[in-house]
Protein backbone atom coordinates (compact mmCIF):
# COMPACT_ATOMS: atom_id res chain seq x y z
CA UNK A 1 0.00 0.00 0.00
CA UNK A 2 2.79 2.43 0.95
CA UNK A 3 4.67 1.53 -2.23
CA UNK A 4 1.69 2.49 -4.38
CA UNK A 5 1.26 5.76 -2.50
CA UNK A 6 4.90 6.72 -3.04
CA UNK A 7 4.79 5.91 -6.75
CA UNK A 8 1.69 8.12 -7.08
CA UNK A 9 3.43 10.97 -5.25
CA UNK A 10 6.47 10.87 -7.53
CA UNK A 11 4.17 11.02 -10.57
CA UNK A 12 2.41 13.98 -8.97
CA UNK A 13 5.70 15.84 -8.52
CA UNK A 14 6.84 15.20 -12.08
CA UNK A 15 3.52 16.32 -13.56
CA UNK A 16 3.49 19.53 -11.51
CA UNK A 17 4.27 22.68 -13.50
CA UNK A 18 4.83 24.85 -10.42
CA UNK A 19 8.22 26.59 -10.12
CA UNK A 20 9.41 26.47 -6.54
CA UNK A 21 12.11 27.94 -4.37
CA UNK A 22 13.17 26.99 -0.85
CA UNK A 23 15.22 28.93 1.69
CA UNK A 24 17.92 26.72 3.22
CA UNK A 25 19.62 28.16 6.28
CA UNK A 26 22.18 26.40 8.41
CA UNK A 27 25.67 25.08 8.87
CA UNK A 28 27.64 24.04 5.78
CA UNK A 29 30.07 21.15 6.10
CA UNK A 30 32.65 19.83 3.66
CA UNK A 31 32.40 16.03 3.50
CA UNK A 32 35.61 14.36 2.36
CA UNK A 33 36.01 10.66 1.58
CA UNK A 34 39.32 8.87 1.10
CA UNK A 35 39.33 5.37 -0.39
CA UNK A 36 42.38 3.29 0.36
CA UNK A 37 43.93 -0.11 -0.34
CA UNK A 38 45.23 -1.93 2.71
CA UNK A 39 48.94 -2.66 2.58
CA UNK A 40 51.94 -3.32 4.75
CA UNK A 41 55.28 -1.56 5.02
CA UNK A 42 57.99 -4.20 5.39
CA UNK A 43 60.75 -1.65 5.96
CA UNK A 44 58.84 -0.06 8.86
CA UNK A 45 57.12 -3.27 9.97
CA UNK A 46 53.74 -1.56 10.20
CA UNK A 47 50.33 -1.70 8.49
CA UNK A 48 49.65 1.11 6.03
CA UNK A 49 47.09 2.22 3.49
CA UNK A 50 47.57 3.54 -0.04
CA UNK A 51 45.22 6.32 -1.10
CA UNK A 52 43.44 5.44 -4.35
CA UNK A 53 40.71 8.04 -4.60
CA UNK A 54 39.41 11.10 -2.80
CA UNK A 55 36.02 12.77 -3.18
CA UNK A 56 34.44 15.88 -1.70
CA UNK A 57 30.78 16.83 -1.31
CA UNK A 58 28.82 19.69 0.21
CA UNK A 59 27.42 18.49 3.53
CA UNK A 60 24.98 19.83 6.10
CA UNK A 61 22.88 22.69 4.74
CA UNK A 62 24.91 22.44 1.53
CA UNK A 63 23.73 18.87 1.01
CA UNK A 64 20.12 19.92 1.58
CA UNK A 65 20.49 22.55 -1.16
CA UNK A 66 22.14 19.98 -3.44
CA UNK A 67 19.30 17.51 -2.90
CA UNK A 68 16.73 20.19 -3.67
CA UNK A 69 18.58 21.03 -6.88
CA UNK A 70 18.67 17.37 -7.89
CA UNK A 71 14.90 17.28 -7.34
CA UNK A 72 14.36 20.33 -9.54
CA UNK A 73 13.95 22.94 -6.81
CA UNK A 74 15.83 26.26 -6.65
CA UNK A 75 17.13 27.41 -3.29
CA UNK A 76 18.53 30.41 -1.48
CA UNK A 77 21.38 29.08 0.67
CA UNK A 78 22.17 31.09 3.79
CA UNK A 79 25.24 30.13 5.79
CA UNK A 80 28.69 31.25 6.89
CA UNK A 81 31.98 30.26 5.27
CA UNK A 82 35.57 31.43 5.47
CA UNK A 83 37.86 32.91 2.85
CA UNK A 84 40.24 29.96 2.54
CA UNK A 85 40.68 27.24 -0.07
CA UNK A 86 38.21 24.86 1.57
CA UNK A 87 35.41 27.42 1.38
CA UNK A 88 36.17 28.07 -2.30
CA UNK A 89 36.15 24.34 -3.01
CA UNK A 90 32.75 24.04 -1.35
CA UNK A 91 31.24 26.88 -3.38
CA UNK A 92 32.41 25.20 -6.59
CA UNK A 93 30.65 21.98 -5.56
CA UNK A 94 27.24 23.65 -5.38
CA UNK A 95 24.77 23.30 -8.24
CA UNK A 96 23.78 26.31 -10.34
CA UNK A 97 20.24 26.11 -8.92
CA UNK A 98 21.68 27.10 -5.53
CA UNK A 99 21.74 30.87 -4.99
CA UNK A 100 24.86 31.60 -2.94
CA UNK A 101 24.76 35.40 -2.78
CA UNK A 102 23.31 35.25 0.75
CA UNK A 103 26.26 33.27 2.11
CA UNK A 104 28.32 35.36 4.52
CA UNK A 105 32.11 35.22 4.26
CA UNK A 106 34.06 35.76 7.48
CA UNK A 107 37.83 36.05 7.37
CA UNK A 108 38.22 34.50 10.83
CA UNK A 109 35.96 31.50 10.15
CA UNK A 110 36.80 28.09 8.71
CA UNK A 111 34.17 25.65 7.54
CA UNK A 112 34.13 22.29 9.30
CA UNK A 113 35.60 19.37 7.35
CA UNK A 114 34.60 15.78 8.12
CA UNK A 115 37.05 13.32 6.60
CA UNK A 116 36.20 9.62 6.47
CA UNK A 117 38.80 7.06 5.49
CA UNK A 118 37.64 3.78 3.91
CA UNK A 119 39.58 0.64 3.12
CA UNK A 120 38.46 -1.76 0.37
CA UNK A 121 36.52 -4.78 1.65
CA UNK A 122 35.73 -3.03 4.93
CA UNK A 123 32.15 -1.74 4.94
CA UNK A 124 32.39 1.15 7.39
CA UNK A 125 34.91 3.96 7.64
CA UNK A 126 37.94 2.88 9.64
CA UNK A 127 38.68 6.43 10.71
CA UNK A 128 36.79 9.73 10.89
CA UNK A 129 38.62 13.03 11.30
CA UNK A 130 36.74 16.17 12.30
CA UNK A 131 38.63 19.38 11.64
CA UNK A 132 38.08 21.84 14.47
CA UNK A 133 36.33 25.04 13.43
CA UNK A 134 36.37 28.51 14.86
CA UNK A 135 33.18 29.64 16.55
CA UNK A 136 30.91 31.88 14.52
CA UNK A 137 30.52 35.46 15.70
CA UNK A 138 26.86 34.84 16.46
CA UNK A 139 25.90 38.44 17.22
CA UNK A 140 27.47 39.86 14.06
CA UNK A 141 26.09 37.14 11.77
CA UNK A 142 22.60 37.14 13.30
CA UNK A 143 22.29 40.90 12.95
CA UNK A 144 23.25 40.77 9.27
CA UNK A 145 20.85 37.92 8.54
CA UNK A 146 18.00 39.55 10.44
CA UNK A 147 18.47 42.73 8.38
CA UNK A 148 18.25 40.71 5.14
CA UNK A 149 15.51 38.26 6.13
CA UNK A 150 12.61 40.01 4.43
CA UNK A 151 14.33 39.94 1.05
CA UNK A 152 15.60 36.38 1.58
CA UNK A 153 12.23 34.93 2.64
CA UNK A 154 10.09 36.95 0.24
CA UNK A 155 10.03 34.64 -2.80
CA UNK A 156 10.35 31.18 -1.21
CA UNK A 157 7.61 28.60 -0.66
CA UNK A 158 9.08 27.11 2.51
CA UNK A 159 12.14 27.25 4.77
CA UNK A 160 14.50 24.44 5.76
CA UNK A 161 16.77 24.94 8.76
CA UNK A 162 19.76 22.61 9.04
CA UNK A 163 21.02 23.11 12.58
CA UNK A 164 24.29 21.30 13.30
CA UNK A 165 24.85 23.25 16.49
CA UNK A 166 27.83 25.19 15.12
CA UNK A 167 26.54 28.60 16.15
CA UNK A 168 24.78 29.99 13.08
CA UNK A 169 21.22 29.01 14.03
CA UNK A 170 20.75 31.00 17.22
CA UNK A 171 17.51 30.95 19.19
CA UNK A 172 16.98 34.67 18.43
CA UNK A 173 17.44 34.20 14.69
CA UNK A 174 15.21 31.15 14.59
CA UNK A 175 12.45 32.90 16.53
CA UNK A 176 12.37 35.73 13.98
CA UNK A 177 12.42 33.28 11.05
CA UNK A 178 9.52 31.26 12.47
CA UNK A 179 7.45 34.35 13.25
CA UNK A 180 7.97 35.82 9.77
CA UNK A 181 7.20 32.48 8.14
CA UNK A 182 3.98 32.08 10.12
CA UNK A 183 2.83 35.53 9.10
CA UNK A 184 3.36 34.49 5.47
CA UNK A 185 1.85 31.01 5.94
CA UNK A 186 5.14 29.31 5.04
CA UNK A 187 6.39 26.01 6.45
CA UNK A 188 9.52 25.97 8.61
CA UNK A 189 11.14 22.53 8.53
CA UNK A 190 13.96 21.99 11.02
CA UNK A 191 16.64 19.36 11.48
CA UNK A 192 17.34 20.06 15.18
CA UNK A 193 20.37 19.71 17.45
CA UNK A 194 21.05 20.27 21.12
CA UNK A 195 19.06 20.13 24.34
CA UNK A 196 16.96 23.30 24.09
CA UNK A 197 13.45 22.59 22.74
CA UNK A 198 12.47 26.25 23.36
CA UNK A 199 14.57 27.04 20.29
CA UNK A 200 12.04 25.29 18.02
CA UNK A 201 8.78 26.75 19.35
CA UNK A 202 6.29 27.26 16.53
CA UNK A 203 8.07 25.13 13.91
CA UNK A 204 6.02 23.36 11.25
CA UNK A 205 8.14 20.21 11.48
CA UNK A 206 11.21 18.92 13.29
CA UNK A 207 13.06 15.78 12.17
CA UNK A 208 15.27 14.37 14.96
CA UNK A 209 16.59 10.84 15.03
CA UNK A 210 15.96 8.94 18.26
CA UNK A 211 19.32 9.90 19.79
CA UNK A 212 18.73 13.59 18.99
CA UNK A 213 15.21 13.33 20.41
CA UNK A 214 16.58 11.89 23.65
CA UNK A 215 19.17 14.66 23.85
CA UNK A 216 16.59 17.35 23.11
CA UNK A 217 14.27 16.20 25.90
CA UNK A 218 16.78 14.50 28.22
CA UNK A 219 15.02 11.14 27.85
CA UNK A 220 16.26 7.62 27.12
CA UNK A 221 13.81 5.96 24.75
CA UNK A 222 15.04 2.85 22.93
CA UNK A 223 12.30 2.50 20.30
CA UNK A 224 10.11 4.77 18.19
CA UNK A 225 6.86 3.40 19.59
CA UNK A 226 7.98 4.02 23.15
CA UNK A 227 8.85 7.65 22.27
CA UNK A 228 5.56 8.53 20.52
CA UNK A 229 3.57 9.63 23.63
CA UNK A 230 6.41 11.97 24.68
CA UNK A 231 6.64 13.28 21.12
CA UNK A 232 2.93 14.13 21.25
CA UNK A 233 3.57 16.08 24.45
CA UNK A 234 6.43 17.91 22.76
CA UNK A 235 4.13 19.08 19.97
CA UNK A 236 1.60 20.44 22.48
CA UNK A 237 4.14 22.03 24.83
CA UNK A 238 6.11 23.85 22.14
CA UNK A 239 3.43 24.58 19.54
CA UNK A 240 5.12 22.40 16.91
CA UNK A 241 2.83 21.08 14.18
CA UNK A 242 4.55 17.78 13.32
CA UNK A 243 7.55 15.62 14.05
CA UNK A 244 9.31 12.94 12.03
CA UNK A 245 11.11 10.65 14.44
CA UNK A 246 13.78 8.42 12.87
CA UNK A 247 15.69 5.32 13.90
CA UNK A 248 17.90 3.56 11.36
CA UNK A 249 16.83 -0.01 12.06
CA UNK A 250 13.15 0.71 12.74
CA UNK A 251 12.47 3.29 10.04
CA UNK A 252 10.52 6.42 10.95
CA UNK A 253 7.21 7.66 12.27
CA UNK A 254 5.23 10.80 11.38
CA UNK A 255 3.45 12.33 14.37
CA UNK A 256 0.88 15.10 14.16
CA UNK A 257 -1.63 16.27 16.76
CA UNK A 258 -5.15 14.86 16.41
CA UNK A 259 -4.03 12.39 13.72
CA UNK A 260 -3.03 8.75 13.88
CA UNK A 261 0.72 8.35 13.69
CA UNK A 262 2.12 6.92 10.44
CA UNK A 263 4.92 4.37 10.63
CA UNK A 264 7.19 3.54 7.70
CA UNK A 265 9.71 0.73 8.32
CA UNK A 266 13.24 0.97 6.97
CA UNK A 267 12.70 0.78 3.21
CA UNK A 268 16.22 -0.11 2.14
CA UNK A 269 17.88 -3.45 2.79
CA UNK A 270 21.15 -2.01 1.52
CA UNK A 271 22.60 0.40 4.06
CA UNK A 272 25.99 1.52 2.74
CA UNK A 273 26.09 5.03 4.19
CA UNK A 274 23.62 6.88 6.41
CA UNK A 275 25.54 10.16 6.05
CA UNK A 276 23.21 12.77 4.56
CA UNK A 277 20.12 10.53 4.48
CA UNK A 278 18.34 12.96 6.79
CA UNK A 279 19.19 15.77 4.36
CA UNK A 280 17.56 13.81 1.53
CA UNK A 281 14.47 13.15 3.65
CA UNK A 282 14.01 16.77 4.67
CA UNK A 283 14.61 17.96 1.09
CA UNK A 284 12.01 15.61 -0.37
CA UNK A 285 9.58 16.65 2.37
CA UNK A 286 10.10 20.30 1.37
CA UNK A 287 9.62 19.29 -2.27
CA UNK A 288 6.27 17.73 -1.41
CA UNK A 289 5.12 20.82 0.48
CA UNK A 290 6.14 23.04 -2.45
CA UNK A 291 4.12 20.86 -4.82
CA UNK A 292 0.96 21.10 -2.71
CA UNK A 293 1.14 17.73 -0.98
CA UNK A 294 -0.12 17.12 2.53
CA UNK A 295 2.43 16.73 5.36
CA UNK A 296 1.81 12.96 5.44
CA UNK A 297 2.32 12.65 1.69
CA UNK A 298 5.51 14.70 1.97
CA UNK A 299 6.68 12.37 4.75
CA UNK A 300 6.25 9.32 2.51
CA UNK A 301 8.15 11.05 -0.30
CA UNK A 302 10.93 11.91 2.15
CA UNK A 303 11.26 8.29 3.22
CA UNK A 304 11.75 7.15 -0.34
CA UNK A 305 14.50 9.73 -0.85
CA UNK A 306 16.26 8.68 2.37
CA UNK A 307 16.09 5.00 1.38
CA UNK A 308 17.93 5.82 -1.85
CA UNK A 309 20.56 7.95 -0.09
CA UNK A 310 21.53 5.20 2.38
CA UNK A 311 22.14 2.79 -0.50
CA UNK A 312 24.86 5.08 -1.90
CA UNK A 313 28.46 4.88 -0.67
CA UNK A 314 29.00 8.61 0.00
CA UNK A 315 27.04 11.84 0.58
CA UNK A 316 24.47 11.82 -2.22
CA UNK A 317 21.90 14.17 -3.78
CA UNK A 318 18.79 12.15 -4.69
CA UNK A 319 17.08 12.90 -8.01
CA UNK A 320 13.51 12.33 -9.17
CA UNK A 321 14.95 9.90 -11.71
CA UNK A 322 16.44 7.90 -8.83
CA UNK A 323 12.99 7.58 -7.31
CA UNK A 324 11.44 6.48 -10.59
CA UNK A 325 14.11 3.82 -11.08
CA UNK A 326 13.64 2.25 -7.66
CA UNK A 327 12.89 -1.48 -7.76
CA UNK A 328 10.44 -1.72 -4.89
CA UNK A 329 10.92 -5.47 -4.64
CA UNK A 330 14.41 -4.80 -3.29
CA UNK A 331 12.93 -2.98 -0.32
CA UNK A 332 11.72 -4.54 2.88
CA UNK A 333 8.39 -3.47 4.33
CA UNK A 334 8.64 -5.45 7.57
CA UNK A 335 7.61 -3.72 10.77
As a whole number of angstroms, the distance between CA 242 and CA 46 comes to 53
In order of 31, 41, 116, 126, the CA distances from 129 in angstroms are: 10, 23, 6, 10
| The pLDDT value given to residue 106 | 85
Quick check: helix, strand or coil at residue 54?
strand
CATH class in words for 2-29+60-112+135-320:
alpha beta
Cβ count near 117 (within 10 Å): 17
pTM metric for this prediction: 0.89
pLDDT of residue 214: 97
- 135: which DSSP letter? P
Instruction: State the pLDDT at residue 121.
Output: 66
User: ∠ at Cα 191 (225, 20), nearest 5°?
Assistant: 115
To the nearest whole percent, how much of the chain has pLDDT over 70?
A: 87
CA angle 160, 166, 168 (to 5 degrees): 55
Q: Nearest to residue 93, comparing CAs of 56, 120, 46?
A: 56
Rounded to whole angstroms, the Cα distance separating 68 from 26 reads 15
Q: What are the φ/ψ torsions at residue 127 (nearest 5 degrees)?
A: -155, 135
Where are the domains positioned within the chain?
Answer: 2-29+60-112+135-320
| Radius of gyration (C-alpha) of the chain in whole angstroms | 20
Tell me which of 132 and 283 has the higher pLDDT.
283
Q: Is the pLDDT of residue 333 over 60?
A: no
Chain mean pLDDT for the chain: 87
Alpha-carbon span 245 to 253, nearest angstrom: 5
For residue 18, is pLDDT > 80?
no
Q: Which of 106, 164, 112 is nearest to 137 (CA)?
A: 106
pLDDT of residue 335: 35
Q: What is the DSSP string of 70-105?
A: HTT-EEEEE-EE-SSHHHHHHHHHS-TTEE-TTPEE
| CB neighbour list of residue 333: distance below 8 Å, 6 or more residues apart | 2, 3, 265, 267
Distance CA 131, CA 230 (A): 36
What order do you get walking across the sheet with 113-119 strand by strand? 46-60, 28-41, 113-119, 127-130
Provide the β-strand partners of residue 128.
116
- In 3D, which of 228, 265, 268 has the Cα closest to residue 247? 265
Q: What is the pLDDT of residue 133?
A: 67
- The rounded distance, in Å, linking the Cα atoms of 48 and 187 is 50
Q: What angle do CA 244, 249, 253 make, to 5 degrees?
A: 20
Local confidence band at 243 (pLDDT 50, 70, 90 cut-offs):
very high
Please check the confidence at residue 249 and state whether its pLDDT lies above 50.
Answer: yes
The H-or-E segment that residue 309 falls in is helix 295-309
Amino acid sequence: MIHNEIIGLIDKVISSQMDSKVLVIGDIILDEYIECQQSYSISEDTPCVKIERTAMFAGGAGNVAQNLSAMGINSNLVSVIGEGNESEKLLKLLDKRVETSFIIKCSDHEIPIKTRIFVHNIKNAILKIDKRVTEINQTLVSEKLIDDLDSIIGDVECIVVSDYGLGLVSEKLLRIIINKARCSNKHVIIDPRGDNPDKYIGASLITPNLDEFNTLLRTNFQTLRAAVPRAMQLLMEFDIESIILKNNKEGSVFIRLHEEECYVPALSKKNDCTIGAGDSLISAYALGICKGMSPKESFLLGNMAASIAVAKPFTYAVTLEDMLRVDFFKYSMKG
